[in-house]
Amino acid sequence: MLAERYPYYLANRPRQPNAELAVTDKYSGEVVTHVALADAGAVEEAIAAAVRATGPMRRLAPYARQEVLEHCVRRFRERAEELAFALCVEAGKPLRDARGEVTRLIDTFKAAAEEAVRIEGEVLNLEVSRRAAGYRGFTQRVPVGPCSFITPFNFPLNLVAHKVAPAIAAGCPFVLKPSDRTPVSSMILAEVLAETNLPEGAFSVLPTRLEDVGPFIEDDRLKLLSFTGSEKVGWELKARAGRKKVVLELGGNAACVVDRDQGDRLDFIADRVSHGAFFQAGQSCISVQRVLVHEELYDALRERLVARARALRAGNPRDEATTLGPMIDEPAARRLEGWIQRAVERGARVLTGGGRRGALLEATVLEGVPADEPLSAEEAFGPVVLLQPFRAFDEALRVVNEGRYGLQAGLFTNDLSKAMRAWDELEVGGVVVGDVPSFRVDTMPYGGVKGSGLGREGVKYAIEDMTELRLLVLRQE
């Protein structure tokens, strides 16, 4: 069960000045709890506290940072079902998916605990010419300082974890603005952090009105902004961020290529594409949106994928048997329903699905969608997948590269030379061979190019963004 109300956390401590933010059950639409909403004064107080915590966090020994993260891992395991239930209600995730996200939360904090004690420098040979005789160089990585994090609704735990856990490992205080649609998960995470010995001011977690968000982006006391969300908003925030570092994890319309030599693996491929397209109602930046299939396999894979889409059980995410939950709200479902209808008006064919009941949109498979339709060119962010045949492998690579996104791509092939060619030529942050683009492990470098973002997440790589190299040059007589 959810609590009747939740505080926000300012400088490590809970505060309950109000209960103004209503949180709804995304399946029923009913208000299920309330969360305190921070005002402009609270945001200023949190940033000032983070600035004061900069020195204490920097001086916090690596083993002490590790102990904080290990405490979180233990407590997340103890509260796993509570966290999964919160995700199920506030984000509409089927329980099996919600439990999977809790597992990833734990994995991310566990990886950060391991990395906290191996943030290392190097010894440099500076004697590259006679004038540098007797000189040596040394580097260390030091925390960048107070960080600002803004996170979306679709992974309310794990996308927060990918910012918070590396920040603690790196020794950076932070202020976090979670999504106002899914704030409860972040409040439970903050409650666990408050049990630790982090220096005062090391963290604040503040659901905030839109008009009070400005300092998270523009305040020069914050040295890094990490934002996960839509492409349009992300690039606008970067333009406002001033001189601070900026990391953007934005949208995508991920493609998956199925090569000619995969005829004996079509059942497996259909399983993986179905999961990648419809998991979490398709509300993932690396959801499978476009599937390019060699023309000799097209009919066979289409038949299998349609059957799997029809077999999904849509409904209440609290039901253990549910495999397809609602989108985040009814306007989001109506928007995607409209895109489907628009594509059909231009000749696309709905193979299955397309219906909507409230925020529940059926798992939908289409073919013949024009490339310039929003359903193909934009981020669908819902349970929709488009099929398209191809004849030549290079043609498929060209289609994948069309448009402004470049997050991840999937490729099913047995041909190593084609796999390497795809890795060399596809304009994406990552190529997944033998699986769908939706595959992600929380320790791997993750991020996009083109309109899909800037920088990389993945614990080790986020720590690199949250630290700076400091050089020592030593001259010996």
Strand 349-352 vs strand 364-367: parallel, antiparallel, or unpaired?
antiparallel
**Alpha carbon 23 to chain centroid distance?**
21
Maximum pairwise Cα distance, the chain: 80
Spatial separation of the C-alpha atoms in residues 115 and 119, rounded to whole Å:
7
Residue 434's nearest CA partner among 454, 414, 452, 450 is 414
**Alpha carbon 239 to chain centroid distance?**
21
- Residues constituting the chain: 477
The catalytic position among 231, 249, 367, 457 is 249
Instruction: Give the angle subtended at the CA of 46 by the CAs of 185 and 193, to the nearest 5°.
Output: 40
Which sign does the torsion angle of CA 163, 284, 188, 66 carry? negative
User: Encoding tokens for residue 79?
Assistant: 């509260």
Residue given tokens 């995470």 in the structure block: 189
Exposed e or buried b per residue across 320-331, where buried means at least 16 C-beta atoms within 10 angstroms of its C-beta = eebbbbbbbbbe
Spatial separation of the C-alpha atoms in residues 78 and 164, rounded to whole Å:
20
Q: Is 249 a catalytic residue?
A: yes
* Residue 235: HSE in the Cβ half-sphere, 13 Å Cα cutoff: 8
What are the catalytic residues?
Answer: 249
